Amino acid sequence: MSEIEMTGELFLLVRQNQPAVAPPVTEFNADALLVEAARHGDQEAFARLYKLYAPMVHGVLLARVPWAEVDDLVQDVFLTVHRRLETLRNSNAFGGWVAMIARNRAMDFHRRSRKTEELHEEFAEQTRSEANADAARVLSVLRELPEAYRETLVLRLVEGMTGPEIAERTGLTPASVRVNLHRGMKLLREKLGLEAAS
């Protein structure tokens, strides 16, 4: 069981499948310095943070919401981050904090637009080629995996992030990411019927 505690207006979430959080980092890293600069109004520092963390936010959202909605939601998440940055107590926890905002934003999206979700998904599917239809099917299977596995696998397979990068951006421990990747990939193979081939 893992526990994720967030600052500001976010919730305290305790979930069975939630990935473990890395132990608090005591020394300032480069990202924390960027966070500090951004908190003091440095827009360039915030732009740098956006460039570094946008793929992670994109992957977190893609694991939960229709692909056609993800780009707008990424913008929403970073606007929220920009607005609430002063409420972040520990600059070293920026990655986990942003990831949690993204997860909450995805949940909020489903609460508010449950009726239109399918329509958007169908519309998005119509615009893709047959080759992309296979990708859509794989993505659909990915989304059926448990939350912790699906998020980590999307970041690895879609966003192209390595395990250490995923751990660094999301605030998860490397061990947790590694386990999630291994078990998630095993489940994905089973669901895609690739188990025999491997």
Partner 1 sequence: MNDDYLWDGTGEPDPEVERLEQMLSTYKYQPKKLDLPARPTVWFSSRLAAAAALLLMAITGLLVYLNKGEQTPPIVAKDNPVVEQPVKEPDTAPQGNPANAVKDQDAKPEPTGQRVAKTYRPRRAEKIVERVEPHDVDETVGGLAYFDLETAKHLERAQMLLRSFKNVSLESDDYVAEASYEKQLSRSILRKNVLLRRNAEAKGNLPAEELLGSLEPLLLDIANLPEKPSQEDVRTVKERIQKTEIITTLQVYSAPIMARND
The residues of the shown chain that bind partner 1, judged by CB under 8 A, are 40-41, 43, 46-47, 50-51, 54-55, 58-59, 62, 67, 71, 74-75, 78-79, 82, 128, 132, 134-135, 138-139, 154, 156-160, 162-164, 178, 181-182, 185, 188-189, 194, 197-198
Specify the residue, 44 or 108, whose C-beta has the smaller distance to partner 1: 44
Question: Structure tokens of 191?
Answer: 């669901």
Can you give the length of the chain in residues? 198
| CB of residue 5 to partner 1, shortest distance in Å | 26
Specify the residue, 120 or 178, whose C-beta has the smaller distance to partner 1: 178
- Using an 8 Å Cβ cutoff, are 38 and 85 in contact? yes
Measured distance CA(78)–CA(71) in Å, rounded? 11
Specify the residue, 50 or 94, whose C-beta has the smaller distance to partner 1: 50
| CB of residue 60 to partner 1, shortest distance in Å | 11
Specify the residue, 146 or 164, whose C-beta has the smaller distance to partner 1: 164
- Using an 8 Å Cβ cutoff, are 110 and 117 in contact? yes
| CB of residue 137 to partner 1, shortest distance in Å | 9
| CB of residue 132 to partner 1, shortest distance in Å | 6
Specify the residue, 21 or 38, whose C-beta has the smaller distance to partner 1: 38
Task: Tell me the sheet residues that pair with 47.
Answer: none
Cβ atoms < 10 Å from Cβ of 131: 8
Question: Structure tokens of 44?
Answer: 């360039």
- Using an 8 Å Cβ cutoff, are 88 and 101 in contact? no
| CB of residue 14 to partner 1, shortest distance in Å | 28
Question: Structure tokens of 89?
Answer: 């107590």
Measured distance CA(198)–CA(140) in Å, rounded? 21
Measured distance CA(34)–CA(53) in Å, rounded? 12
Specify the residue, 14 or 194, whose C-beta has the smaller distance to partner 1: 194
Question: Structure tokens of 16?
Answer: 């069975």
| CB of residue 97 to partner 1, shortest distance in Å | 17
